[in-house]
Chain A
Amino acid sequence: MDRAMNEAKFEDLLARYGADLESWPSKDQPSAKAFAKTETGQAMLEAELQLDELFASNIATGHEHTEDRNLEAFLSRLDAVPTGYSQEIPEKKSWLVDIQRLFASFDVELSPGALVSQMAALVVALGMGIMVGFSSEDSGYVSNFEAEEIDISEAWFADLSDAGVSDVGQSAEPVGE
Chain B
Amino acid sequence: MQQQDETELSDEQLVQLVCSGDRNAFRVLARRHGARYRALAYRFVADMALAEDLVQEAFVKLWTHADRFDAGKAKFTTWFHRVIVNKCLDEKRKRRVDPLPEGYDALDPSASAEERLGQDHANMKLKRVLQSLSERQKTAITLSYFDELSNVEAAEVMDLNIKAYESLLVRSRTKMRQALLAEKEELMSAIGRV
Contact = CB atoms under 8 A, between A and B. Distances in A.
Interface of A: 11-12, 14-16, 43-44, 47-48, 50-51, 53-55, 57, 59-67, 70-71, 74-75, 77-79, 81-83, 85-90
Dominant secondary structure at the A interface = helix
B176 A12 contact: no
Interface in B149-194: 169-171, 173-174, 176-178, 180-181, 184
Interface of B: 19, 21, 23, 26-27, 30-31, 34-36, 38-40, 42-43, 46, 48, 51-52, 55-56, 59-60, 63-67, 101, 103, 108, 119, 122-123, 125-127, 129, 142, 145-146, 169-171, 173-174, 176-178, 180-181, 184
Contacts of B39: 62-63, 65-66
A78 B42 contact: no
Contacts of B38: 66, 71, 74
A51 B176 contact: yes
A78 B56 contact: yes
B66 A87 contact: yes
A87 B21 contact: yes
Nearest to A67: B35
Contacts of B101: 61-62
Contacts of B145: 55, 60
A14 B174 CA distance: 8
Contacts of A74: 34-35, 38, 52, 55-56
Contacts, number: 129
A47 B180 contact: yes
Contact of A85 (B27, B60, B125, B169): B60
The 8 nearest A-B residue pairs measured at CB: A62-B42, A60-B146, A78-B30, A82-B23, A15-B170, A66-B39, A15-B173, A47-B180
Contact of A44 (B42, B63, B126, B181): B181
14 contacts: A11-B174, A15-B171, A15-B173, A47-B180, A53-B122, A57-B122, A59-B123, A60-B145, A65-B42, A74-B35, A74-B38, A78-B30, A81-B30, A82-B26
Contact of B177 (A44, A70, A85): A44
A82 B56 contact: no
Given A75-B30, A79-B27, A51 B177 contact: yes
B35 to A, nearest CB: 5
A86 B26 CA distance: 13
A83 B30 CA distance: 14
A61 B65 contact: no
B63 A81 contact: yes
Nearest to B52: A74
B43 to A, nearest CB: 5
Contacts of A50: 180
A73 to B, nearest CB: 9
A75 B35 contact: yes
B122 A59 contact: yes
Nearest to A77: B56
Given A51-B176, A54-B126, A71-B38, A61 B46 contact: yes
